[in-house]
Amino acid sequence: MKTLSLSKLDALFAAISAAQKLYIPAEDAGGQARFTPWQEGLRLSSKLNTARSAKDLFFPQVENLVGFKVSGKQLEILETRDVTEDFVLFGVRACDCRSFDVLDRVFLAEPADTYYQTRREHATVVTMACRRPSETCFCGTFGIDAANPAGDVTCWMDDEQLYWRANTPKGEALTESLSCFADGGEEAVAAQQEATRAILAKLPLAGLRTEGFGGEHMMELFASPKWAELSESCLGCGTCTFVCPTCQCYDIQEFKNGQTVRRFRCWDSCMYSDFTKMSAGQPRPTQKERFRQRFMHKLFYFPENNEGVYGCVGCGRCLQKCPIHMNIVKVMKALGEEQK
């Protein structure tokens, strides 16, 4: 365990940034916290979570995949991807860190998505434990410890000190490259962890459980009449999917400019009426079916195919952002009633 005075935090960021690009949660002009490239004078946000998750750094909302140049019958492939350099992602919360496990299972399964894979290989993830979790947090439902997040490095922060623990070879290499730390901090971290877990135990959603959402209940709950009522007010706006750290749906679009064709990947949402629409029609033509698909995937389909790992990490963003206040917690509570 290492420790550093918060008065030297900018010096730490400068030292990291001198060797590789550094991203930290910082507030934009609208007061939203976002992962932003560090530069001198940029301040670390005190907000619990960023408006959008750390997923953006590995799976961007819009990405230029490849280009094609057509000349007569000749086709030239244009490599458009940027060369990925090593970078450090500082201040990732436990929920967002767990989301990488979900995304890895999708994008690193054979055949691996090389765009995502390259970014993951070049990134060092420095997580930050939570001190004051929000009332919308429910990461504990999915076995995540907000007081002891994973990552290449785990950090804790109080009013005076930053505490730093390397967990992986990447984390150890980053730690060894920095000379600003002192040893110690174990007792302070243990006390903070105890205090944070006490807060977590008292949160409104602390009692939310995943029991009853296993594969043996899949078809029973798929046919539940409650889906009609739950989805009735859904606008299909896709906000929940765009702030979600684990959603991975995307669309591929091509744009022609003269003799050059550009192929882009952009986020998509299972809540949209044209999602997966084909010439034969839409496989889920009603909002109820699209709504059900989203939550069945997170609570049944994904864990059934991924060793019990749920497609939700309890970050609470969908609770905060949904314009009609419909979210996975309400779905779990409503369907959970059927299991009693």
- Closest alpha carbon to 13 in 40, 53, 31, 35: 40
Phi-psi region of 199 (alpha: psi -120 to 50; beta: other; left: phi over 0): alpha
Give the model's pLDDT for residue 81: 78
Per DSSP, 140 falls in state G
pLDDT digits (tens, 9 = 90+) for 164-199: 999 999 999 999 999 999 999 999 999 999 999 999
User: 204: cis peptide before it, omega within 30°?
Assistant: no
Give the model's pLDDT for residue 84: 81
Give the model's pLDDT for residue 273: 87
Task: Provide the residue type at 312 as one letter.
Answer: C
Q: How many CA atoms lie within 13 A of 331 on its CB side?
A: 27
Give the model's pLDDT for residue 277: 80
Distance between first and last Cα of the chain: 46
pLDDT digits (tens, 9 = 90+) for 82-105: 778 999 999 999 999 999 999 999
**281 pLDDT above the threshold of 80:** no
Cβ 204 vs Cβ 210: under 8 Å: no
Torsion sign, CA atoms 116, 119, 122, 127? negative
Q: Mean pLDDT throughout 19-36?
A: 95
Cβ 18 vs Cβ 87: under 8 Å: no
In the structure encoding, which two tokens stand for residue 170, read together?
């990447």
pLDDT classification of 340: cutoffs 50, 70, 90:
low
* Average pLDDT over all residues of the chain: 93
In the structure encoding, which two tokens stand for residue 236, read together?
């299909």
Give the model's pLDDT for residue 82: 77
**210 pLDDT above the threshold of 70:** yes
- Closest alpha carbon to 300 in 311, 314, 291: 311
- Closest alpha carbon to 30 in 13, 52, 11: 52
CA distance 14 to 20: 10
Helix (DSSP H) and strand (DSSP E) numbers for the chain? 12, 12
In the structure encoding, which two tokens stand for residue 245, read together?
């750290």
pLDDT digits (tens, 9 = 90+) for 119-130: 999 999 999 999
Give the model's pLDDT for residue 95: 97
Q: Mean pLDDT throughout 107-122?
A: 96
In the structure encoding, which two tokens stand for residue 181, read together?
């730390």
Give the model's pLDDT for residue 338: 61
Cβ 277 vs Cβ 224: under 8 Å: no
Q: Mean pLDDT throughout 131-159?
A: 96
Cβ 85 vs Cβ 20: under 8 Å: yes
**131 pLDDT above the threshold of 70:** yes
Residue 25 pairs in a beta bridge with: 35
Cβ-in-10-Å burial (0-12, 13-18, 19+) of 333 comes to: exposed
Out of 70-84, 210-224, 254-268, 312-326, give the one with best mean pLDDT. 312-326
Give the model's pLDDT for residue 307: 92
